[in-house]
Amino acid sequence: MPYITSVERIGMEKGRLIGFRDGKLEGRQEEAASMLLKLMRRKFGQTPDWVAEKVNSASLELIETWSDNFVFANSVDEVFAS
């Protein structure tokens, strides 16, 4: 078994924590995207394919903005309006 220095051990732990944090953020993004798409389908019916592509590739912050817009939107286009 190779010797691991304390500096290497600290680096490995930091890497593990960063990976955990990034994975958790990615999971939140996926869940928010899924929920917004579900709500949009329920309110507007079947949505075009570009909607799912746009939502699934967006940041969590942008999805949250669109979710706020969704509440008062009368169309899919209004959800994505600035």
**Maximum distance among all Cα pairs of the chain, rounded to whole angstroms:** 63
Question: Taking the domains of the chain in order of start, what are their residue ranges?
Answer: 6-79
Phi, psi torsion values for 49, nearest 5 degrees: -60, -35
Closest CA to 41 of 81, 4, 70: 70
Region of residue 73 (phi > 0: left; psi between -120 and 50: alpha; otherwise: beta):
beta
59 CB-near residues (< 8 Å, 6+ apart): 29
Question: Per residue of the chain (82 residues), what is the pLDDT tens digit?
Answer: 677 777 777 777 777 766 666 666 688 899 999 999 999 999 999 999 999 999 999 999 999 999 999 999 999 999 999 7
1 CB-near residues (< 8 Å, 6+ apart): none
